[in-house]
Amino acid sequence: MAIVTTDDGVKIDYEFDDFTNPWDDEAEVIGLLHGSTLNKKFYAPMVPYLGRKFRVLRWDQRGRGASTAPAPGSTLSGAEVDDGVTVVQRYARDALCLMDHLNIKKSIG
């Protein structure tokens, strides 16, 4: 299990699969984020197919699968008071945190 901690302390569980040719340093990363009632396992059957062409990054949204939820009293955006951060913006921040952690400059998904 691989985990990254976001800027608001939520632990995001992720898988980073790479079955591309070892000499292909230019393989693009595709990010797969599941729907609100699922987890990263939803995409597991697709990894063997996608993983030959792309490096595949999939993660559990906060509060889903093996990722932790924000602290009690806070919202999915992670703040006790939203401070103008929407849930969509929070999910984008989580994705960027994960990409920074893995030194990924760009994702096509």
| Predicted pLDDT at 79 | 57
81 confidence band (pLDDT: 50, 70, 90): low
CATH code, 2-101: 3.40.50.1820
Give the strand pairing for 11-18 and 55-59.
antiparallel
| Predicted pLDDT at 77 | 58
| Predicted pLDDT at 80 | 53
| Predicted pLDDT at 38 | 92
| Predicted pLDDT at 100 | 96
Q: pTM to 2 decimals? A: 0.85
Helix (H) or strand (E) holding 90: helix 87-101
Sorted by where each begins, the domain ranges of the chain are 2-101
pLDDT tens, residue by residue, 24-80: 878 999 999 898 789 999 999 999 999 999 999 999 999 899 999 887 777 665 555
| Predicted pLDDT at 82 | 55
User: Where is pLDDT greater, at 95 or 26?
Assistant: 95
Residue 108 CB neighbours (<10 A): 8
End-to-end CA distance of the chain: 22
Residue 95: pLDDT above 60?
yes
